[in-house]
Amino acid sequence: MSGIGRRLRTVAFLSGGLLWAAPALAHDAFGDLGPFYANLLHPLSDQLQGILIVGAAALLAAKGREAAQLGLPVFVASAALALLATTLGLALPYPLLAVALAAALVGAAATLPARLVPMGVVVLLMVLAGGFVGAAFGPPAPGAGTLRPLSGALLGVAVPSLLCWGALDLLAGRLTPVVPAVIGSWVAASGVIVAAFLW
């Protein structure tokens, strides 16, 4: 085939792709899975929510298992309270910039030596991060009921945070203790980048 023929075929192919393009829908990454699975998988489609979960897990993995024994339940309970407040229409509006800064704080705390971040500060950061994670789900869709969205959201927070913490704790013990700090630095950088775009 000649060069002109190849070029014409390429132009025709690209033109057809542009004509068949469909609009992109935000938060429609998984299609209509129903209220339970939509909330269960929500942290995979909401980047700020996801990095807050990873950042919280990195902070707890960096501070040791004693910190995780208190920090993980506090994180999940804070997310549950924020989720309940959002479901009942009691949540206050907040800027995305605050969420990005919270991610930067949690990630930065994971990079610091344990002696510089007392347990009280860890708990406060878990309350802050968990609150933003729970509020990010938003109110349930009309007609979705309450139990299925709530249970899906709670599992969507508890399971990934526990799995992330377990993986980072395992890597810190088997590979090197700086693994949680490295992940924390990535979370902090992500939060700073998002905050810079939102400023």
Confidence (pLDDT) at 10: 61
Name the percent of the chain lying above pLDDT 70.
81
Confidence (pLDDT) at 9: 67
The structural domains of the chain, with segments of one domain joined by +, span 34-198
Measured distance CA(53)–CA(58) in Å, rounded: 9
Measured distance CA(102)–CA(108) in Å, rounded: 10
The verdict on pTM exceeding 0.85 is: no
Residue 123 has pLDDT above 60, yes or no: yes
pLDDT tens figures, 19-44: 454 444 444 555 567 778 888 888 88
pLDDT tens figures, 138-173: 887 776 677 888 889 999 999 999 999 999 999 999
